[in-house]
Structure 1
Amino acid sequence: MIEIDSRAFGNKIKNIRNSKHFSLRQVSNQSKDETGVAISPSYWSLVERGKRNIPKPQTLKRIAKGLRVDESDVFRMAGLEAPTEATNLTRITSSEMVSVPIIGEIACGEPITAIENVSGHMLLPNNLVKGGDYFILKCIGKSMEPTIMNDSNVLVRAQPDVENGQIAAVLLDDDTTATLKRIKKTKNSVILMPDNPDFEPIVLNEDKPGRIIGVVKMEMKMF
């Protein structure tokens, strides 16, 4: 381990963030781990200004995710040895894994996980997909950035309704177009809200129908 000054580390983090034109809110939203825990913008600012000690390894991993850089790069900047693949992986037996379908183009009128829609499968640990039916859906477009990036894959729990503020997978038009949006319910309509302010909301009502097919649980890394 190399002794690194917290101010020097903070400057490096800030330079990377500025080079990518990310705001503190963006890197915070992008730093969520598998359990949904993120680094707050205020804490991130303190780290950049050298007002906090070098973060712990788990926080460094979230910093790397927020900056969209390799974990090994952030660990080196912190003067730490990058975690190896062997130290990050826990042996999981085949009996502890579940095959989850990856949804490609959606066939009109078919259930979301019908064979016509499935482009492949991904093995996931049982504990990630408890208590329901799950599928993986590819995000196409930038309307949910920085929360969900273009071309990323999300794990969706199949269900016909979600709570206000949750991100849902919604079928539009003739049941062949799926979109990911944050749900806002009103008395007479459901509004699909983008997280990216450059995009307009979509209003679902009698004239423009749609149906919720699931709630987004987490963004997936595809290997």
Structure 2
Amino acid sequence: MSALGNKKIMAKNILYYMEKHQKSRNEMCEALGVKYTTFTDWVKGNSYPRIDKIELMANYFGISKSDLVEEHVVAPRKGITINVLGRVAAGIPIDAVTDIIDTEEISLEMARTGEFFGLQIKGDSMEPKISDGDVVIVRQQNDAESGDIVIATINGDEATCKRIRKYRDGIELVSSNPCYEPMFFSNEEIENKPVRIIGRVVELRAKF
């Protein structure tokens, strides 16, 4: 059977627009001037409305007749592709980094909350959760809450992944791996070294 005149497609579309506009069957019957049993047959796919009733429904919902008659294929929502960087050097804007090793996709919802990049982790300082070769998704920002996992540059070196602890007199960058000692920086050292937060880790894309 073709889509035109397909009772099941009509039923699905009527129910969709009823739910969207929060209309009951009784309200629909009153608006269209049809019996409850007749309308029930339409939404169950047992019968097909006359063209004048389809036109009435379309006007009632503020849509075209084709919106009721034709099957609608909802395209899958696409995400946003971001670059995965192999390294981030201090003082170079993320957009200018050329060491792009891969790409990852993030959701549209996430993309609306800021600018993001991926970073491949080197070393075992964040083991066991984040391993060498894993990719983290990073939201670009120059500050973070105490307890967040951040990407930071220290003394002009390549960026590193650490958990930040904030204190009144400075910050501590803490590795998850107990083999590594926490690094404390006073407020003066943060300015002079300098220590810079360039992003907060929002998601882990672990390797195999």
TM-score clears 0.5: yes
**Contact persistence 1:107–1:117 (CA under 8 A):** no
Alignment of 1:24-173 (within 5 A): 93=76, 96-173=78-155
1:215 equivalent among 188, 200, 207 = 200
- Give 1 or 2 for the bigger CA radius of gyration: 2
CA distance in 2, matches of 1:123, 1:92: 17
134-143 or 200-209, which deviates more = 200-209
1:181 equivalent among 162, 165, 170 = 162
Displacement of 1:204: 2.5
* Residue 203 (str. 1) matches residue 188 (str. 2): no
C-alpha RMSD of the superposition: 2.4
**Contact persistence 2:163–2:174 (CA under 8 A):** yes
Report Cα offsets for 1:17-73 as digits up to 9, x if no partner. Answer: xxxxxxxxxxxxxxxxxxxxxxxxxxxxxxxxxxxxxxxxxxxxxxxxxxxxxxxxx
Moved over 4 A (4+): none
Displacement of 1:199: 0.7
**Contact persistence 1:100–1:135 (CA under 8 A):** yes
Report Cα offsets for 1:135-163 as digits up to 9, x if no partner. Answer: 00111111111221222110011111110
CA distance in 1, matches of 2:171, 2:78: 38
Residue 109 of structure 2 aligns to a residue in which SS? Answer: helix
Residue 127 of structure 1 aligns to a residue in which SS? Answer: helix
Unaligned runs of 5+ in 1: 1-90
**Contact persistence 1:110–1:116 (CA under 8 A):** no
Unaligned runs of 5+ in 2: 1-73
TM-score computed with the length of structure 2 as normaliser: 0.56
What is the aligned length? 131
**Contact persistence 2:88–2:97 (CA under 8 A):** no
